[in-house]
Chains A and B, each alone.
Chain A
Amino acid sequence: MSRISNLSIKQLSRKFDEKLLCPKEHTLEVFKNIKRNNNDINAFITLSEEFALKKAEESANRIALGKKLKLDGILVACKDNFCTKGIRTTCGSIMLKNFVPTYNATVYDKLEKAGAILVGKTNLDQYGMGSGTVDSIFGPTKNVWSENLNNPRICGGSSGGSASAVAANFCSTALGSDTGGSTRNPASYSGVIGFKPTYGLLSRHGLIPLVNSMDVPGILTKTVDDCVDIFNTIAGPDDLDSTTIKKSFNPIELSENFNLKNVKIGIPKEYNCEGLTSEVLEAWTKMADFLEENGARVEEISMPYTTASIFVYSILNQCEVASNMARYDGIEYGHRADDESSTENLYSKTRAEGFNGVVKNRILAGNYFLLRKNYEKYFLKALKVRRLVSDDFKKAFSKIDLLLTPTTLSDAPLLSDFTKNNNRDQCAVQDFCTCPANMAGVPALSIPIKLSSNNLPISLQLMGPNFSEKLIFNTAKFIENRVDFYLNYNKLKL
């Protein structure tokens, strides 16, 4: 593993400042690593080497002129559901296989304007509908921690390409998206930080939607510090997304001498669920003990509607999917089938060819739920239960400051085992711990804790009330310092 690319954003930036490293040199080196290893991992759908070298040149020029931007020379990757101007954005689908946006998603645009360099677009489950990064027309992304890449572990999903790219040092940070856990789940399996902020703090403009009311851009990094740096760069109101918080965003600074005194941490018992492995349970318990030993007040609490989240999520997801996917008709852009005998035939053949089975199932189910006769029974009912899930959080946060839970129930499953189940059952298990936060819109962060007996990452999740990002980051940093998971990367053969 390259020692240079193992540096944090601040460390790299300092090297650029001190002229010990040049963005061009850094970029070339990382691309060497990508070329050597990406074929095994399949983190990327599209690599943008030429573009990256051009951007590296620009960074180098700015540094030479003493006009360095905050993220000059920092390599980033984007999940392939963020629109990038002039670089194709596929959503892992036939439908958008050749779709080249003419605009940048706001969050990516902010990275670019801060000097960051895009290395490529990362793999995902088609339109983000999945939790393994196995349902992409470009094939599955493999977990960098797999014992044997010929019988690989899944990397989690749907932002699996982004998590793998960060874990494999293909970039310093990557953007994911998180609708039911799609950033935190692959972060958990891949041993990186996966952060989903409060709904409305990051603009969704240019993020090709899965479920608009739950989608949040996510950040994947190696360290909490990097995560804060990226978050500070991309957060804030956006006129192009009416659901962003109108108040201007105050960048977060981590406390030098953070301590856990007066921090109340809840352990929701419902997360100790069927299927939770003893290793994860142990890591969770030990972490709770550790936090308590360090001054936090830890108590068990109950969030009774936790198990309802998955059903609510399933219905709302399918309804919005049915609606959001209606635009893919082959007329204005995207795949167009070779049947112009009538508009109806063109539509149905285009959509039959352009979507995979998962997408089609969700469209069908969603339209069923939205029928006039079913609307109240399913959609409205789901909204009501969503409110109950959200109230669980409100009640919890009236008593405690943070929640500590597992992110995933186990370490990363084998791809061959994972694909034995259908997509719906996969998601029901994978999203169990993560999707309640999306129901409520609250911030959540997954942080790697240790390696399992299989030498695979085990992670835990911190959740807090809306706008409690600073406390989450501080606590995560506290945990990070303790577990020093970063050292495990030395064991990686990449």
Chain B
Amino acid sequence: MNRIYKINIITILNRQFSTKLAPKSNTWKSVIGLEIHAQIASESKLFSGSRNSFSAEINSSVSLLDAAIPGCLPVLNRRCVEAGIKTALALNCEINEVSMFDRKHYFYSDLPAGYQITQQRKPLARKGFLTFPVLTPVKQSKAYYKTVRLHQLQLEQDSGKSLHDEELKISLIDLNRAGIPLMELVFEPDLSDGEEAAALVKELILIFERIQTCNCRMEEGQLRVDANVSINKEGEELGVRTEIKNIGSIRGVAQAIEYEIQRQISVKDQGGVIINETRQWNAVSKTTIAMRDKEVVQDYRYMPEPNLLPLHLNMTEDVNLDDLVSVKAIEKSLPILPQELRDELVNDHKLTQVTAMILVNDTVIYNLYKDIIKENPKRSAKTVSNVLINDYIATCNKNKIYLEDSKISSSHLGEIIDMLENQELNHNLVKLVLQKLFETSQSPKVIVEENQWKQISDDAEIIKYCNQVLESENGKKMVQQYKSGKTKVLFAIAGEINKISNNRINMAKVTDMLKNILK
């Protein structure tokens, strides 16, 4: 899902929900809070030396501690602490100089110790916030920025995986995932709908791509989203919330939340009550379903983990102090974050907010943009972004090629842009050139030459085309209409001229010339 989404930014902007249960009532307000589990991209697990690898053979990446063999003690992985701090800093958090680990108890067959080590009472970081763009599906121009508060960021270990064979009535357990490091990001309920939630997740992924603390492969469960959803009326207290667990794609986040909002509205409108429950998103039927196993409220009997010392961090400027993880050193190593990129595009490159949002929203596109401008800083930012967003992505989609798999180089794209700017190519033909570029290995210049797509800019030749149209039956009619005051007809005439030139004619010149001729 994630990968398909990535190539398809524009389609998303225009998509419609297919799962609406009832027309949205104006009187209801929805409140959304996300809890996100992000797997830390580390070599080894949070408390053991086993490899942190997704594709390893079943139960092959399990140390004694991961299987909760008695007598084994957890040893905190320093890299995971660093990743947590880096992420917390990127999300504007206050880092706790001392944080603690807790045991959270529950019985499950893929939780070998009978408890999960997490940070409930004193987490690594607190009180963060994130401002991110929301590109609404209805109208691009209504794109806006939203700010969400981050309640806390905690380190914790993942559980194993259970597979239940209903027919054979057996459960199989794979402990490769047991003990894999997670960051749990608990956001405040500051969001108002599914699109904002999806946009938040999208922004997080962009941040993770830059700081590289999580690989974000949602299909592998590296980023898992739980959404708390409630509805209330303006001025009233918050409604009872439901929790949707483990949503596995960005689109799923928007769809599941929208579905759940509509479900709650129709329950309320029919006089029903919402019960506090956990629900599961079914991506196939596009509905949320109540999960049966959590009828009783769990008491996790939290207890401080006695085998780990409190985690002390070095907050001072002296980055080598006491062998503690230095927060300042990590702060200095932070790369440029997506919002800074957008600001740069708007302030320095004079692009619109929406263009900046779309460019930065996909790292492949953004990198192409940067490379094309870098090759020749005189290129127009507007033309470059226009070609990338309107022509390049569409051509990739049409050919069902993932952006990251596309072999088209920035220098070839640059050539196209130069031809556009030098009036050697009509914008109308850019998609055709790109299509040929996908099919052949020729350079855009050669493609344009061989297909005789070069723009017609020679005045004498343009006049020939103009006359051809103006002298036709249809042309004469249109000239009459124009002269009687319907000035818009001029564009229809120009369109005809363009058509007979096979989209090659310099339209700016054509309109100027027509205006002169028909004066």
Contacts and interface: CB of A to CB of B under 8 A. Distances in A.
A323 B302 CA distance: 9
A343 B164 CA distance: 11
A213 B310 CA distance: 13
A96 B301 contact: no
Contacts of A103: 64, 69, 72
A372 B299 contact: yes
Nearest to B169: A340
Contacts, number: 99
Interface stretch (B102-110, B229-237, B404-412): B102-110
Contacts of A82: 71
Interface string A192-222: 0000000000001111110111000000000
Interface size class of A (residues with CB under 8 A): 35 or more
Interface in B4-49: none
A331 B66 CA distance: 13
B377 interface: no
Contact of B307 (A206, A212, A327, A370): A212
B309 A371 contact: no
Interface in A83-126: 83, 91, 96, 99, 101-103, 105
A326 B107 contact: yes
Interface residues of B, number: 29
A333 B103 CA distance: 21
B335 interface: no
Contacts of A212: 306-307
Contact of B71 (A207, A242, A332, A370): A207
A212 to B, nearest CB: 4
B138 interface: no
B104 to A, nearest CB: 10
B68 A370 contact: no
Nearest to A369: B301
B70 interface: yes
A327 B68 contact: yes
Contacts of B68: 327, 332
Contacts of A347: 107
A240 B75 contact: yes
A107 B224 CA distance: 41
Nearest to A348: B107
A369 to B, nearest CB: 9
B113 interface: yes
B302 A370 contact: yes
Contacts of B307: 204, 212, 241-243
A240 B65 CA distance: 10
B155 to A, nearest CB: 14
B113 A326 contact: yes
A320 B113 contact: no
A398 to B, nearest CB: 25
B108 to A, nearest CB: 8
A206 B71 contact: yes
Interface in B89-119: 103, 105, 107, 109, 112-115
Of listed B64, B71, B72, residue having the most chain A CB within 10 A: B71
A327 B307 CA distance: 15
A12 interface: no
A242 B115 contact: no
A303 B112 CA distance: 42
Interface string A321-353: 011011101011100000000011001000000
B69 A323 contact: no
Contacts of B109: 329, 331, 343
A101 B71 contact: yes
A372 B303 CA distance: 10
Nearest to A319: B303
Contact of A327 (B74, B114, B308, B309): B114
Contacts of A207: 71
B47 to A, nearest CB: 9
Interface in A342-376: 343-344, 347, 367, 370-372, 375
B65 to A, nearest CB: 9
Given A240-B75, A332-B68, A370 B306 contact: no
Contacts of B114: 323, 325-327, 329
Given A239-B75, A240-B75, A371-B301, A332 B309 contact: no
A241 B73 contact: yes
Most buried by A among B105, B114, B299, B301: B301
A101 B69 contact: yes
B76 interface: yes
A31 interface: no
Nearest to B65: A240
A284 interface: no
Nearest to A200: B309
A83 B71 contact: yes
Interface string B108-148: 01001111000000000000000000000000000000000
Top 7 closest A-B pairs, CB basis?
A326-B114, A370-B301, A212-B306, A213-B306, A327-B68, A208-B70, A206-B71
Given A367-B301, A371-B299, 7 more contacts: A91-B70, A102-B69, A242-B73, A242-B75, A326-B115, A344-B107, A370-B302
28 contacts: A82-B71, A83-B70, A83-B71, A91-B70, A99-B70, A204-B71, A204-B307, A206-B72, A207-B71, A209-B71, A240-B75, A243-B73, A243-B307, A243-B309, A323-B114, A329-B109, A329-B114, A331-B109, A332-B67, A332-B68, A332-B69, A333-B69, A343-B171, A347-B107, A370-B105, A372-B299, A375-B301, A375-B302
